[in-house]
Chain A
Amino acid sequence: MSFLSILVFSPLLGILVLALLPKTQESLIKLVGFLATLPALVLALVAFGTKDLTKYDVVKEWIHFGSDPSLFSIDYELGLNGFSLILVVLTAVVSTLAAIASIHIKKEWKGYFMLFLLLEIGMLGVFAAQNLVLFFIFFEITMIPMFFLIGKWGYFEKEKAAYSYLIYNGLGSAILLIVIMVLFARTGTANINDLMQLMAVEGANTPSPISESLKMGLAIALLIAFGVKLPIFPLHTWMLRVHVQAPPSVVMIHSGILLKIGAFGLIRFGFGIFPEQFKTLAILLAILGVVNLLYGAFLAFIQTDFKMVLAYSSISHMGIVLIGLGALNEAGIQGAIFQVVSHGLISALLFFLVGVFYERFQTSTIANLGGMAKGMPLASGFLLAGALASLGLPGMSGFVSEFMAFLGLFEAHPVVAAIGCIGIIMTAVYLLRAVLGMTYGKAGREFLGITDIKSVEFVPVLVLLALIVLIGVYPSVLSEPLQATLETIMLGLGG
């Protein structure tokens, strides 16, 4: 088997082992679940250390339609470029850390971890897939385990959240499926690179396989399909429920990675296959981005539950991705990609800490958690650090992405960007209100028998913080692998 196939399917081994274990062996199941995420992590890091990514490409014949051997075949194709590699690494890292965070899961560990690992396969596959059909299959693979993870291991309104998740994402993927099928039917290929080339060489001597208006329609359909995932206002309400109802370890994955599939799809397929159309849509993206940024920020300001604050904060921060994309220049797009990674790490950190607090106090309501710093100084300190990262403090990853996205947008649409800058202030306002509300001030409770963050709980916090600071201090760690991808995108956009 090839390197990438092993990387993507390595969690399967864990699923098999788990299937053989008796379901009462709590600690053993948790250990296996954690260990099963490690091979993918190691391999992802190995890939991150390699210069030449093309050697990982895998092509195997799979399904074929019709008589022309060069057309209508759907192969099993995996491959990586700089952008997808970074997301594979992010997935592997966050999955391992979320597996550690799963120590707080209280029941049916066996089922939980089997679904968890299946989810990881889906996510790794989404980023490594080289054709649209394969992408779609992996995309769907992420949905099913997620539905059960929310619906079974979540909080009070978990079923409602799970159905809400399913309906929205189901509609999104239905639209996506239509786009993929139209592209496949019209061009005869589902390979992403072929499609990109096919769309790029139009006009010259070959007539375009797809009319301009249909292209625009497909581009808008893609925007909606991935807009549900990102999520773009007003398609976001499902995601609030998931954030609040799913267990923190699952939200780490959801907010850290699954939402990023939306951004990944927009950049890789939207900008890759429909560059001309997205150029036209750019101003719309920028405006949607500012709307997301401000809408999320203002609503986060009045939430009483910290999880809701973070949920709206995610909406707000995904606005930065759109802002960067709407800028249509290198600074903006690089900022958007940085934001994808940065928010993945920061939201994973913050939701892990939510789990740490919830485990001890059975609440995430801000008013019930005042003065935490007295009883849990370390956890409170980490929470503050996470909040500072989230509000874009220099020296941490959030600043680099936010800065580049705004740098880009100020060149393209200075007025829109200036309005968006209100979001920078509001982010500080709502995050400090929430975090200081929880940790500073008079403690309204006794801390008898409450332990501060301890032992294995340190691992996710320290790893995530280290990565956040690494990107913030030395952003070249991301920008160098991204160089080639970015050039390709800019070439597609016409320089």
Chain B
Amino acid sequence: MENAWIIPLFPLISFLFLLLFGRRLKENSGYVGMALTFLSLIYSLVVLFDRFNHPTYKAEATWLAIGDVQLTAGFEVNQLNALMLVIVSLVSFLVHTYSKGYMHGDDRFHIFYAYLGLFTFAMLGLVVSPNLLQTYIFWELVGVGSFLLIGFYFYKEEAKAAAKKAFIMTRIGDVGLLIGMILLFWQVGSFEYDAIFLAVEEGAISAGIITLTAILIFIGAVGKSGQFPLHTWLPDAMEGPTPVSALIHAATMVAAGVYLVAALFPLFTASETALMTVAVIGAFTAIFAASIGLVQTDIKRVLAYSTVSQLGYMMLALGSAGYVAGVFHLMTHAFFKALLFLAAGSVIHAVHTQNIEEMGGLWKKLRLTGPLFLIGTLAISGVPLFSGFFSKDEILIAAWTNGNPVLFWLAVIAAFFTAFYMFRLFFMVFTGQSRSEMKNVHESPKVMTVPMIVLGVLAVVAGYFNTPWFGTFLGDWLVEGNEALGHGHTEGPAWIMIVATLVSLLGIFLAWLMYGKKSLQRDWLSSRMPITYNMLYNKYYLDEFYALSVVKTTKGLSVLLSYIEAFVVEGIVKGVAGIVHGLGKTGSKIQSGQVQAYGTVAFVGLAVLVVVYVLAGGYLK
């Protein structure tokens, strides 16, 4: 554990090495990236097992001195960090492997792997940070990695717009985090997590400041984790290559916001209002995004809205004081959502379209991808025995026991939506008529299917680390030695599990009726409620609203200022120039060549100087 700092360094080496020599290595760059992330993975596993038997380890050194204040940099291995290390390095390694097949033939292959290395470095650095400042530093670097990868196909206008949007939307959130962090610093005198928790515990910070800083920091999480109202960048981010969507926009970076709230959990629990904010935003995002997902036709966008929705679930869990539930769902979601994206990538790889209207009947052609996609779909829908079932159940229990029935029922409805749109996706892609133009559909190569199989296994078994049936190992371990985090498992009424199961089965059944058996008309919604349908299809017109309000205002203000610049400021300039010019003119007029006039001026000047000298009494000693 003492050497855990080395884990993020492997991908950093990969990034630098490939930037310098990647061009010569061509597609062999993939092996460099894979080997180095594999080392990270091995080391992360070692650290995780080490952490089972040893207490938290932390090491720091001075990074920057400001007067007497020493800002430090270092690393910390606690339960949450150790778990995150494994999740991140595992998904990253699998995506590195998968990309070897998916990106095959791209002439910027090595750049892709270099960027993957940069992102993985930043993400691993983020999850071992022992203080807020360092978290913020890696937080921003993660954002840049995401930005570069979204804009990987830089020549596409959509990719350019998406990359820019992602960077700016998340930066709006980041500023919230920055302000919250600085305000906390001036209260606590340190960025250290430990120092902050200690100050909160001792009551050294006023309740108002705790609420304010917690909410400001949460704004950062809202930006990164695609929560309402800053979520609009995440669906657009699907312009990036699909493995990137799996790594960054499903499993790791977007979960960073959830991680941040979890890492600062004792701060949040100190303020009812802050927790409530987190829960409400989370629940609203969960149902809001799920409702949009019902009608989208791009396979990746459906998955993107589902990610937004699931992240909302995690926030709801944390906001309902369900620390374990939130972190648990983060883990299971990382596996099944990465699986779904990779499987979607495999489908896109085979049929060269992302429009699900143009797909169908792929079950027979993609004999591996199909079942794996089904596993992911079952897991996310919360079907019993799959991982998502257990973690979603924990969240619902947390929401119920925290005594907020409205949020609980919102989450239940969102679960119904999720099951419905995920199976709508499944049936439309894999069942029904096979398209005639898709004759040459092949299953993806092994290098792509093997990572999917690994994730498929995890999507099933990851739930059993923490079940009410066999034991809540994960939960107990996560909260061990820290009472502020709550209990490892909260007992909830048994009917919650039954309701959750029924709701998801109902969603699946409805999807089957409409898209599988087709006994219900597909245009049932669009024909009956065209306004609702259009609103959902156009994502509640939020992008249009932002374009009209924020973007227009900014442009307008800029134009207004440019008028001020052109007329007011330049006007002053002209005035100054005019004065200088006038003085010059006057001066040249005085130079008339008349010696008497010069003499007069010189005499008057001398007289004035003498008078001033006498009155002022010379200089003071």
Contact = CB atoms under 8 A, between A and B. Distances in A.
Nearest to A209: B620
B576 A443 contact: no
Given A395-B141, A476-B64, A418 B179 contact: yes
Interface string A177-188: 000000001101
Contact of B171 (A167, A373, A425, A442): A425
Nearest to B560: A298
Contacts of B577: 167
B67 A490 contact: yes
B523 interface: no
Contacts of A475: 63-64
Contacts of A414: 183
A428 B67 contact: no
B172 A425 contact: yes
A388 B144 contact: yes
A167 B168 contact: no
Given A209-B620, A371-B155, A395-B141, A331 B67 contact: yes
A295 interface: yes
A407 interface: yes
A237 B568 CA distance: 11
Interface in B594-621: 619-621
B565 A393 contact: no
Interface in B539-598: 554-555, 557-559, 561-562, 565, 568-570, 572-573, 576-577, 580
A425 B170 CA distance: 10
A424 B561 contact: no
A393 B140 contact: yes
Contacts of B2: none
A425 B175 contact: yes
Contacts of A298: 554, 557-558, 561
B160 interface: yes
Contact of A330 (B67, B171, B580): B67
Contact of A188 (B137, B140, B555, B619): B619
B154 interface: yes
Contact of B163 (A167, A411, A436): A436
B216 to A, nearest CB: 10
B563 to A, nearest CB: 11
A302 B175 contact: no
Contact of B154 (A334, A395, A440): A440
Nearest to A421: B175
Contact of A421 (B65, B164, B179, B620): B179
B587 to A, nearest CB: 15
Contacts of B557: 298
B519 to A, nearest CB: 47
B619 A186 contact: yes
A486 B64 CA distance: 14
A46 to B, nearest CB: 25
A109 interface: no
Contact of A479 (B64, B163, B559, B621): B64
A283 to B, nearest CB: 18
A337 to B, nearest CB: 11
Given A393-B141, A421-B178, A411 B570 contact: no
B172 A442 contact: no
A404 B66 CA distance: 9
B559 A302 contact: yes
A411 B136 CA distance: 19
B558 A432 contact: no
A486 B144 contact: no
Interface residues of B, number: 52
Interface string A422-453: 00111011001100100111110000000000
B160 to A, nearest CB: 4
Interface string B174-211: 01001100110110000000000000000000000000
A56 interface: no
Contacts of A331: 66-67, 69
Interface string A181-205: 0000110100000000000000000
A428 B168 contact: yes
B157 interface: yes
Given A299-B558, A432-B168, A410 B179 contact: yes
B168 A425 contact: yes
Nearest to B148: A384
Q: Which of A236, A301, A329, A394 has the most C-beta atoms of chain B within 10 angstroms of its own C-beta? A: A394
B151 A479 contact: no
A349 B223 CA distance: 31
A476 B63 CA distance: 7
Contacts of B178: 403, 406, 421, 424
A164 B63 CA distance: 44
Contact of A411 (B164, B186, B559, B580): B186
Q: Which of A185, A207, A298, A442 has the most C-beta atoms of chain B within 10 angstroms of its own C-beta? A: A298
B558 A301 contact: yes
B43 interface: no
Q: Which of B66, B157, B570, B572 has the most C-beta atoms of chain A within 10 angstroms of its own C-beta? A: B66
A208 to B, nearest CB: 9
Interface in B106-160: 136-138, 140-141, 144, 151, 154-157, 159-160
A66 to B, nearest CB: 9
A298 B556 CA distance: 10
Interface string A62-98: 0000000001000000000000000000000000000
Interface in B41-75: 62-67, 69
Given A234-B572, A400-B64, A425-B172, A407 B182 contact: yes
A374 interface: yes
A406 B155 contact: no
B167 A428 contact: yes
A424 B175 contact: yes
A302 B570 contact: no
B161 to A, nearest CB: 9
29 contacts: A167-B576, A167-B577, A167-B580, A171-B580, A186-B619, A233-B569, A237-B570, A298-B557, A330-B69, A399-B140, A404-B66, A407-B66, A410-B179, A410-B183, A410-B186, A424-B178, A425-B168, A425-B175, A428-B167, A428-B171, A436-B151, A439-B154, A440-B155, A441-B155, A441-B156, A442-B157, A475-B64, A476-B63, A490-B67
Interface of A: 71, 164, 167, 171, 185-186, 188, 207, 209, 233-234, 236-238, 295, 298-299, 301-302, 329-331, 334, 371, 373-374, 388, 393-395, 399-400, 403-404, 406-407, 410-411, 414, 417-418, 421, 424-426, 428-429, 432-433, 436, 439-443, 475-476, 479-480, 483, 486, 490
Given A411-B186, A421-B175, A424-B178, 4 more contacts: A237-B570, A395-B137, A436-B151, A440-B160
A-B residue pairs, 3 tightest by C-beta: A330-B67, A394-B137, A440-B160
